[in-house]
């Protein structure tokens, strides 16, 4: 038995995955784009559509979808949840696109250096007068890591998006844009991640809201300050045990950011993005968090009017549990508060929710969705990350949106419809 007792310390080892810190590469000193003129969004929109991958199939598959995504042009690919995030510039009727590519379910990333030749699309895209060329190509190279891109990547225009692809669809990015464990560039549930969420195809972000000891709603997912999300620090246990100032001063998230307040997160959405929705996932129960969120939501909606050309914004308070539901119905005029109900459809109808959000695990639930639509209620499902199921639900279900850790993949299937 003594030998066996020596064996027991092995039990203390922990499970793990590959490291979670992965920096996407950048061109030094801004790359060649620093020498080009800006390409207006109206002209960049000519790139939107479905493209055939002539070279580079081993990474990007046989076809990709390109669309303006926030402040970038994004190339959406299917294999391994791949995408290329690009900035644009014009010089002498040649359109240049530079940025990085990434596959979100592994650690593959690198630089992408592309252009549209003057007579094969560059001239037509960058000016108003030229006729669209017969051959419309994006050519260039991509590489691995920080290395100079040297592998050929050639895309050939196939068609514009179908009418079905253009129909509104809610691509809801989990935790403000993705999970920390997927080695995204910023910690989940941060303003830094919300700022770039649109680049990965999302038009709505879901963020997790808790209530600090001094009554300030803040953004954090887990019920404890743990190594998954937080660098080693002085505070431990539930974050709700601490006042907001302590959380700000003594907690550093895994990529170096601070925990944002809900107000900071909503201000970021309103003033620094063009997102059309925010889903507030209510994490702290039975302490009046919902009542604290409502005025912040109302202020954010009012602020939208201050931003020129911003699309309308809808912010819904999530109701994930019966406890939160009970708290919600105790609020006067709660039926006027925009909400998203994850419970039964009957409960969603009873509180006049804007959105009914059942788990995807029950299937496509067409009858329930039809009933929700009859009540003028949207239906979205969560949290769906399996490629084949995403494809099936996007193409063959009546859901109005999908909450996912892989918004670029949902966007790909939406655009390829």
Q: Which residues are at the interface with another protein (CB under 8 A)?
A: 1, 3-4, 7-8, 10-11, 13-18, 20, 80-81, 105-106, 180-181, 221-224, 226-228, 358-365, 384-389, 392-393, 406
Q: How far is the CB of 325 from another protein (least distance, A)?
A: 15
Q: Nearer Cβ to another protein, position 180 or 353?
A: 180
Q: How far is the CB of 228 from another protein (least distance, A)?
A: 5
DSSP, collapsed to helix, strand or coil, labels residue 63 as strand
Q: How far is the CB of 123 from another protein (least distance, A)?
A: 40
Q: How many whole angstroms separate alpha carbon 48 and alpha carbon 160?
A: 7
Bridge-partner residues for 114, per DSSP? 97, 140
Find out whether 325 and 347 touch, Cβ atoms under 8 Å.
yes
Q: How far is the CB of 215 from another protein (least distance, A)?
A: 25
Q: Nearer Cβ to another protein, position 102 or 221?
A: 221
Q: Nearer Cβ to another protein, position 114 or 357?
A: 357
Q: Nearer Cβ to another protein, position 18 or 38?
A: 18
Q: Nearer Cβ to another protein, position 166 or 359?
A: 359
Q: Nearer Cβ to another protein, position 14 or 42?
A: 14
Q: How many whole angstroms separate alpha carbon 353 and alpha carbon 326?
A: 14
Q: How far is the CB of 397 from another protein (least distance, A)?
A: 8
What residues contact residue 265 under an 8 Å CB cut-off, 6+ apart?
176, 189, 191, 194, 207, 219, 278
C-alpha distances out from residue 373 to 128, 349, 377, 379, 398, Å:
42, 11, 5, 8, 9
95, two tokens:
């359109």
DSSP string, 339-384: EEE-S-HHHHHHTT-SEE--BGGG---HHHHHHHHHTT-EEEEB--
Q: How many whole angstroms separate alpha carbon 159 and alpha carbon 63?
A: 11
Q: How far is the CB of 101 from another protein (least distance, A)?
A: 16
Find out whether 336 and 346 touch, Cβ atoms under 8 Å.
no
DSSP string, 74-128: EEE--GGGEEEEEEEEEETTEEEEEEEEEETTSS-EEEEEEEE-GGGTHHHHH-S
Alpha helices, H only, 254-355: 262-272, 289-304, 322-329, 345-350
Q: How far is the CB of 346 from another protein (least distance, A)?
A: 13
Q: How far is the CB of 209 from another protein (least distance, A)?
A: 17
Q: Nearer Cβ to another protein, position 10 or 131?
A: 10
What residues contact residue 377 under an 8 Å CB cut-off, 6+ apart?
348, 349, 353, 354, 355, 356
Q: How many whole angstroms separate alpha carbon 106 and alpha carbon 124?
A: 37
Q: How far is the CB of 82 from another protein (least distance, A)?
A: 11
Q: Is the dihedral of CA 320, 326, 332, 335 positive or negative?
A: positive
Q: How many whole angstroms separate alpha carbon 350 and alpha carbon 363?
A: 23
Q: Nearer Cβ to another protein, position 110 or 140?
A: 110
Q: Nearer Cβ to another protein, position 223 or 286?
A: 223
Q: How far is the CB of 22 from another protein (least distance, A)?
A: 12
Q: Nearer Cβ to another protein, position 14 or 309?
A: 14
What residues contact residue 396 under an 8 Å CB cut-off, 6+ apart?
364
């Amino acid at each position: 038995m003594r030998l066996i007792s020596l064996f027991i310390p092995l039990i203390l080892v922990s499970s793990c995955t590959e490291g979670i810190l992965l920096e996407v590469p950048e061109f030094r000193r801004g790359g060649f784009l620093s020498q080009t003129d800006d390409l207006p969004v109206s002209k960049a929109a000519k790139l939107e559509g479905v493209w055939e991958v002539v070279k580079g199939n081993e990474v990007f598959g046989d076809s990709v979808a390109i669309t303006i995504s926030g402040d970038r042009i994004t190339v959406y690919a299917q294999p391994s949840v791949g995408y290329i995030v690009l900035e644009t510039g014009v010089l002498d009727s040649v359109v240049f696109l530079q940025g990085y590519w990434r596959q979100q379910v592994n650690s593959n990333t690198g630089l992408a250096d592309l252009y549209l030749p003057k007579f094969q699309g560059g001239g037509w895209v960058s000016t108003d007068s030229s006729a669209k060329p017969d051959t419309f190509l994006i050519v260039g190279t991509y590489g691995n890591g920080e290395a100079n891109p040297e592998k050929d990547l050639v895309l050939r225009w196939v068609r514009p998006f179908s009418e079905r692809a253009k129909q509104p669809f809610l691509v809801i990015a989990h935790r403000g844009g993705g999970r920390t464990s997927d080695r995204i560039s910023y910690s989940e549930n941060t303003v830094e991640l919300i700022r770039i969420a649109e680049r990965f195809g999302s038009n709505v972000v879901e963020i997790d809201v808790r209530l600090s000891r001094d009554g300030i709603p803040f953004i954090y997912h887990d019920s404890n300050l743990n190594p998954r999300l937080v660098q080693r620090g002085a505070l431990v246990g539930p974050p709700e045990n601490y006042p907001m100032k302590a959380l700000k001063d003594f907690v550093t998230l895994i990529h170096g950011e601070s925990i944002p307040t809900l107000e900071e997160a909503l201000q970021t959405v309103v003033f620094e993005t063009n997102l059309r929705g925010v889903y507030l996932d209510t994490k702290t129960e039975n302490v009046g968090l919902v009542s604290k969120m409502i005025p912040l939501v109302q202020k954010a909606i009012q602020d939208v009017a201050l931003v020129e050309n911003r699309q309308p914004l809808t912010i819904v308070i999530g109701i994930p549990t019966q406890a939160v539901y009970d708290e919600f119905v105790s609020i006067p005029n709660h039926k006027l508060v925009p909400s998203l109900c994850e419970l039964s459809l009957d409960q969603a109808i009873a509180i006049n929710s804007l959105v009914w959000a059942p788990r995807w695990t029950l299937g496509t639930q067409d009858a329930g969705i039809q009933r929700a639509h009859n009540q003028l209620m949207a239906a979205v499902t969560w949290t769906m990350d399996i490629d084949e199921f995403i494809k099936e639900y996007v193409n063959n279900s009546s859901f109005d949106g999908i909450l996912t850790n892989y918004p670029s993949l949902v966007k790909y299937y939406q655009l390829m419809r």
